[in-house]
Structure 1
Amino acid sequence: MIYSTTETIPGKEITEIVGVVTGNVVQAKHIGRDIMAGLKSIVGGEIRGYTEMLTEARDLAIQRLVASANEKGADAVVGIRFTTSAIMDGSSEIMAFGTAVKLKK
């Protein structure tokens, strides 16, 4: 499966728009990460625990987006975008969305 943030795939012709596909993940904070984040906020710098958590969440959201496109019989997903939102105190959602398409063979 080809997937891209661009609206086209170089060297490929889009023949059909299958539809919008999404993949999302809701992540909750971990008490250990919160303690380390609190300490890190005092001295400054990257909060690696949160960086790792968000990277894992983004990767899982992409996997779910690709699975959704495969279920619809798509060859590729174009125009992928990401959004985040707070769901409730202590948790947030990352969503990937794009357009599933068929490509000329």
Structure 2
Amino acid sequence: MGASELITRHSDNFEEDQLELERDIAAILLTTETAPNLEILERIEIVTAECAFGMNIFKDLFAGVRDVIGGRSAAVQKTLRDSRRTALHELKKEAHAVGANAVIAVDLDYTELSAAGNMVLLVASGTAVRIASNPASAPEHRP
């Protein structure tokens, strides 16, 4: 087998592995402690994910103009949205790594890292839990 065949096979396996990982970490994320028809089998541990992101100078300039004249800054909103998605994805990966299939009581905290306001830290945290994959098959809860 030649080197190019090994690279191609590795590339195919890598893509398949990535897709499998994405399916595995498709954990349920809840901001509440529980939900109807959700049977928590085990609370595993607290998980966190951090995402530090910066606004480039052009976004900062336009955001500053928006501060003066009013209105929304689409560039800043997009950066915040992207960072939230990244942090939540990382939170799912952390939960998966400890054997969880859901994260409950998810909280997002934003903190400004620099006085100029061009660097922000987003911390996502929650409790990694294992839930019944089929709520109907979950053990019956008795008070």
TM-score of the aligned structures, taking structure 1 as reference length: 0.92
In the TM superposition, 1:46-57 aligns within 5 A as: 46-57=72-83
* C-alpha distance after superposition, 1:18-44 (max 9, x if no partner): 100111110112111011112222211
Q: Give 1:86 deviation, angstroms.
A: 1.6
Q: Give 1:9 deviation, angstroms.
A: 3.2
* Structure 2, gaps ≥5 residues long: 1-26, 134-143
Q: Which residue is 2:40 aligned to?
A: 14
Task: Measure, in 2, the Cα distance between the counterparts of 1:23 and 1:69.
Answer: 10
Whether 1:3 aligns to 2:20 is no
State how many pairs are aligned: 105
Structure 1 stretch displaced more, 36-45 or 94-103: 36-45
User: Among 94, 98, 102, which residue is 2:126 paired with?
Assistant: 98
Structure showing the higher strand proportion among its residues: 1
**Bigger CA radius of gyration:** 2
Give structure 1 regions of 4+ aligned residues with deviation exceeding 4 angstroms.
none
* C-alpha distance after superposition, 1:40-87 (max 9, x if no partner): 222110111111100100110000000000011102100001101122
Structure showing the higher helix proportion among its residues: 2
Q: Which has the higher contact order (CA 8 A, sep 6+)?
A: 1
